[in-house]
Amino acid sequence: MFRAVCRLQWKASFTAVALIAVAGFIVPLLAVQRAGFAVGDRRAWDLVTMLAAVESAGSLFQILAIMLGLTLSVSAWSADHQGDHVYALTLPVPRWYYVLLRFGAGVVLILPVTLAVGLGCALAIQGIDLPAGLRSYGTAITLRFALAALVAYAATFALAAGTKRTAALILGSLVAVFAISELLAMVGVGQGLLTTLMVGIFARPGPFEILAGPWTLIGV
């Protein structure tokens, strides 16, 4: 049954996953090319500028991880939402087991994109000659991408599994928090509520800490 769920979810998300995989393969190559590590006279290298360029291009990994998680979570439940969950209710398995199958299928589909990122990092690093004092972090970036995509997928999967009313309620709450934060900031009442919330979520030990911070393929 798990194989059938994986096949259905693959058909539903094939195009998006393939595009994200291609982008994940290209981003490391883009980072190295943008920084100029593969070309030019080493004596003329401005390492500070080049490392900044690598870090800037590496921010695309965050975007791709979030896009992958969102794509897989939406595709996991799109068919069920269209059929008002009738198909899931007719299956001779408990609801929790069906949800686990859906979630597991998405986790499996994260693997090919992670592999594409890893191949891109390996190819990008292989084509350059790093000066003394610099190191490549291709394996770390690949593992971090997999974990970041999994975190983004888990968060959006829980939201997509609910009803449209639940999703609207959550989104409405987020809009309300943003509006209240802006009002408090306008009247000068302490630190913005939204800023405090974002720090709590993305800073250590927040649940989305893996998505924050620099994604540096090459560093000291």
* Torsion sign over Cα 145, 57, 138, 25: positive
pTM: 0.74
Which secondary structure element, helix H or strand E, spans residue 218, and what is its range?
strand 218-219
125 has a pLDDT exceeding 90: no
- What pLDDT does residue 44 have? 44
pLDDT tens, residue by residue, 61-113: 888 988 898 888 888 776 665 655 566 556 667 777 877 888 888 899 999 99
Take residue 48 and report the two structure tokens written for it: 């500070």
Residues 6+ apart with CB under 8 A from 142: 114, 117, 118, 121
Cα separation, 107 vs 149, whole angstroms: 9
Return the number of other C-beta atoms located less than 10 Å from residue 28's C-beta. Answer: 30
Sign of torsion over alpha carbons 92, 97, 99, 102: negative
Sequence letter at residue 59: S
